[in-house]
Amino acid sequence: MSVINHYKNTNTQFGWVTIVIHWLLVLPIIGLFFLGDYMMDLSYYDSFYTLGPKIHEAVGILVLFIMLFRVVWRVRNVSPTPPKTNSQFVNIASKLAHLGMYAILFLILITGLLISFAGGQGLEIFDWFIIPGPNEFFENQATLAGNVHRLAALGLMALIALHTLAALKHHFIDKDTTLTNMLGIKEK
């Protein structure tokens, strides 16, 4: 057993760039879900009432930029061939799940921006600087985008749970290289 030493994906292994981005984003994405859920329950007099959304938006913007790079990297790289023991169904289902996670993530990120820009005041990153944004595109933008944002976030969490269970099944039940590959470990 050894670790891989290439940064680009090959036909058999993920490269370090894909691996680092994959694991780097896990905590922020799941953290944003719980922070978002938590901050919606705060009242005006709570000390976290203004800071919570500020952290949520700033981390969200970072995730957005990393996701833009991730898509570019993804389309410019080959994907490792799945284990031979995988059924055709599993291969198609996992492709759809990965595509679904990308699509829902962008839906969340874009509706997040639409909520924040709705007042026309731009997006304030703490007291550091303001990212200017367009005014409202449609009526009730904050409410509508907020509803989609919440539903999409719930959908993403369901997909991530399924995705994690699938990864663990590959590792502990099928005993194939799916998970070790995403950890940068070479079996031989």
Kindly tell me which of 30 and 68 has the beta carbon lying closer to ligand HEM.
Answer: 30
Count of helix runs (H) and strand runs (E) in the chain: 5, 4
Q: Min. distance of Cβ 115 from ligand HEM in angstroms?
A: 4
Kindly tell me which of 178 and 184 has the beta carbon lying closer to ligand HEM.
Answer: 178
| Sequence-ordered list of residues with C-beta below 8 angstroms from that of 3, at least 6 positions apart, any chain | 184, 185, 186
Kindly tell me which of 4 and 115 has the beta carbon lying closer to ligand HEM.
Answer: 115
143 to 60, 137, 140, 150, 178: CA distances (angstroms):
19, 13, 5, 11, 41
Q: Min. distance of Cβ 95 from ligand HEM in angstroms?
A: 8
Q: Min. distance of Cβ 128 from ligand HEM in angstroms?
A: 15
Q: Min. distance of Cβ 7 from ligand HEM in angstroms?
A: 14
Kindly tell me which of 4 and 182 has the beta carbon lying closer to ligand HEM.
Answer: 182
Beta carbons of 181 and 167 less than 8 angstroms apart: no
What is the chain's length? 188
The whole-angstrom separation of Cα 109 and Cα 112 is: 5
Q: Min. distance of Cβ 92 from ligand HEM in angstroms?
A: 11
Kindly tell me which of 40 and 92 has the beta carbon lying closer to ligand HEM.
Answer: 40
Grouping H, G, I as helix, E, B as strand and the rest as coil, residue 40 is coil
Q: What type of residue sits at position 161?
A: A
Taking the alpha carbons at both ends of the chain, their separation in whole angstroms is: 5
Residues that bind ligand HEM (CB under 6 A): 18, 22, 25-26, 29-30, 32-33, 36-37, 40, 53, 56-57, 60-61, 63-64, 74, 94, 98, 101-102, 105, 108-109, 112-113, 115-116, 123, 146, 149-150, 153, 160, 163-164, 167, 178-179, 181-182
Q: Min. distance of Cβ 22 from ligand HEM in angstroms?
A: 5
Kindly tell me which of 45 and 172 has the beta carbon lying closer to ligand HEM.
Answer: 172
The whole-angstrom separation of Cα 6 and Cα 14 is: 9
